[in-house]
Structure 1
Amino acid sequence: MRTLLVAGNWKMNGSLALVEAFRQTFAAVALPARVEVALMVPFPYLNAAADAFRDTPLMVGAQTLSDRTGGAFTGEVSGGMLADVGARLVLVGHSERRSLFGEDDAAVLARVKAALAHDLTPVLCLGETLEQREAGRTEAVVLGQLAAVCDALDPDERSRLVLAYEPVWAIGTGRTASPEQAQSVHAAIRACLAEYSPTLAEGMQVLYGGSMKAANAGELLAQPDIDGGLVGGASLQVDDFLAICQSAG
């Protein structure tokens, strides 16, 4: 049985006080045995979070990375730097990176490879816009984004990915894909993975991202092909995020 991963994405939010609040809460609770938990925090808080969460179930992740290993790239952060300060995972291809910062499939692939080169787990984000969904192109878009990465990786590299399906129309809008809608896309993703390898499809964690909150997490996580959540706004509220993690058991 696949473990579940609940990953919080703070985006450009957070503080040292919030890091400490999460440390205190998660150091004092027991989570379901098959649940893993991570927080993707802004770069300035990575080191503090890695230190604070050392004796808690929380893993630390970053929100993006450069595809370069180092050099004259002012403002960029490499995979080696992330690993050096204790990050274990990194988001790649989040819809905001694709839409706001122009990261296309080639840029996403380069960042996936950079993460793998530094033993970071890439959480590869896939998702369609409302316009694409209404045009009936959901699977074509999502599976196209998946193939753009998986076709360029060897089997071992593919097995080190985590996937996150995030319908763009449900991110930060208050709208959420119904459990049936989310499950349908997750099943299509898993069927696509099976074309590479049945073992890959069976073992891959595929998270749902898109306004997951305490009130709807249980129903979403009960779907057979949903293996956790990529949580946005609710990950900034300690009690709400904890409730999602506990509902995943």
Structure 2
Amino acid sequence: MRQMIAGNWKMNGTLAGIAAYAAALGQGVAGVDLLICPPYPLIGPLRAACAPGIAVGAQDCAVEQSGAHTGDVAAGLLAEIGASHIILGHSERRADHNERSALVRDKSRTAIAAGLTPIICVGETLAERDAGEAETVVRAQLAGSLPDGFTGLVAYEPVWAIGTGKTATETDVQAMHATIRAALKKQLGEPGETMLILYGGSVKPTNAATLLATPEVGGALVGGASLTATDFMAIAEAALR
């Protein structure tokens, strides 16, 4: 199965840097799906600059399709300017904006209706893992965040490994991805058997090959390393090893 390497630029990137970044990506990596999710204002320019085979996505959307919601962005508009995917329920949204799984589920419905493919993020904090609650937390997030008939991807991001330099061990990743796969099968039936499960959490060129070769890992959601095109491409190439 083809893996997806998705870059989450978060609140980084500039209009001036788009052309050089897109040029460095070239036509991408044969056999690997590439996705870049920049801040809202860069979606259109990045879509215009990148090769057709490289997907561009968004990092969030509103529940509503339109209306008096100052500061929010509609999923339909994101699709109109070139987004094909959307990250929802990232731990930074859950923590910094107090987003609950029910809201993530509602946003997912809106995104799918607009033609976007959601990437739903789940993951536990260090305190939850130390308390032996990691799998319980992740299963609850899946149950609450995925709408009936969900079509999209899931990304497992241990919160304690995001931007900290810490990386879950191969054993940690394999165990949690197996838990997620079992939950997806139970919750979604047949579609849950093949749905891609990405791993995110300090993925770098130096550890990508090991992480991407782990059973049930269908790709990576890359944060800081996606800001440099050469590092991002190195991670994508690691998916073929």
TM range, smaller chain: over 0.9
Deviations 1:141-185 (A, max 9, x none): 0011001133x413xxx2x21000000000000001011111110
Whether 1:176 aligns to 2:167 is: yes
Q: Is the 8 A contact 1:32 1:248 kept in 2?
A: no
Distance, in Å, in 2 between the alignment partners of 1:216 and 1:115 is: 32
Distance of aligned partners of 1:30 and 1:131 in 2 relative to their CA distance in 1, 3 Å threshold: closer
Secondary structure of 2:210's counterpart equals: helix
Distance of aligned partners of 1:219 and 1:84 in 2 relative to their CA distance in 1, 3 Å threshold: same
Whether 1:111 aligns to 2:107 is: yes
Q: Alignment partner for residue 143 of structure 1, among 128, 139, 163?
A: 139
Q: Alignment partner for residue 221 of structure 2, among 230, 234, 238?
A: 230
Whether 1:153 aligns to 2:148 is: yes
Structure 2 counterpart of 1:24, which letter? A
- Report the counterpart of residue 93 of structure 1 in structure 2: 89
Distance, in Å, in 2 between the alignment partners of 1:101 and 1:114 is: 19
Gap regions ≥5 residues in structure 2: none
Distance, in Å, in 2 between the alignment partners of 1:196 and 1:141 is: 15
TM-score by length of 1: 0.93
Structure 1 counterpart of 2:187, which letter? Y
Alpha-carbon offset, residue 187 of structure 1: 0.6
Whether 1:3 aligns to 2:16 is: no
Q: Alignment partner for residue 65 of structure 1, among 61, 75, 78?
A: 61
Distance, in Å, in 1 between the alignment partners of 2:188 and 2:162 is: 31
Q: Alignment partner for residue 185 of structure 2, among 194, 199, 222?
A: 194
Distance, in Å, in 1 between the alignment partners of 2:187 and 2:90 is: 23
The size of the alignment, in residue pairs, is 240
- Report the counterpart of residue 49 of structure 1 in structure 2: 46
Alpha-carbon offset, residue 30 of structure 1: 5.3
TM-score by length of 2: 0.96
Distance, in Å, in 2 between the alignment partners of 1:210 and 1:242 is: 17
Gap regions ≥5 residues in structure 1: none
Give 4+ residue runs of structure 1 displaced > 3 Å after superposition. none
Deviations 1:37-64 (A, max 9, x none): 00010001011011111x2532100000
Secondary structure of 1:214's counterpart equals: coil
RMSD (Å) for aligned C-alpha atoms: 1.2
Q: Is the 8 A contact 1:3 1:205 kept in 2?
A: no
Q: Is the 8 A contact 1:171 1:209 kept in 2?
A: yes
Q: Alignment partner for residue 79 of structure 2, among 76, 83, 92?
A: 83
Alpha-carbon offset, residue 32 of structure 1: 3.3
Distance of aligned partners of 1:30 and 1:113 in 2 relative to their CA distance in 1, 3 Å threshold: closer
Secondary structure of 2:167's counterpart equals: coil
Distance, in Å, in 2 between the alignment partners of 1:91 and 1:57 is: 19
- Report the counterpart of residue 218 of structure 1 in structure 2: 209
